[in-house]
Structure 1
Amino acid sequence: MKSFIERQLYQPALVLPMVDLMQMMVSLDFNMGQVGLMMATRGARAAFQRSRELWSADRDEVAAAHCAHCSH
């Protein structure tokens, strides 16, 4: 069990967000309202950025398909 926990905890995908959260909590003096607001803001920003990337990729695909269709 100990080795399982160690393997799971040493994963950067798990540890880095936890460290980031702890740093934010310390910088905001553990004010959970502010921490929640900051997390919501970061999540909204990430979701917006991802949706822009997907939308841009979709537009590029449609344009490429249209150009391929026009050349025939």
Structure 2
Amino acid sequence: MPIHAQELEDLLRQSFPDATISVAGDDGVHMSAMVIDESFRGLNRVQQQRAVYAALKGKMDGSTAELHALALTTKAPD
């Protein structure tokens, strides 16, 4: 079952409540997200993205995952 943009944003918001989050994608399987959060300050890009993937709570795990591809942009606020 595909994931909807709002559901993806809600999952991210649980882990990053104060973040600026933008989710795009219309097919529910291939989406993009931008997460800008203070918790990323001092972390490298891989560490930031791992934090986001952890927030997805398995939605991208395995061959039957709800979300197949996520183009992800992460950073700390300017």
Tell me the TM-score normalized by structure 1: 0.29
Tell me the TM-score normalized by structure 2: 0.27
Q: Per chain length, whose mean CA-contact separation is higher, i.e. which structure has more relative contact order (CA < 8 Å, sep 6+)?
A: 2
Structure ranking higher in helix proportion = 1
Which protein has the larger Cα radius of gyration, Structure 1 or Structure 2? Answer: 1
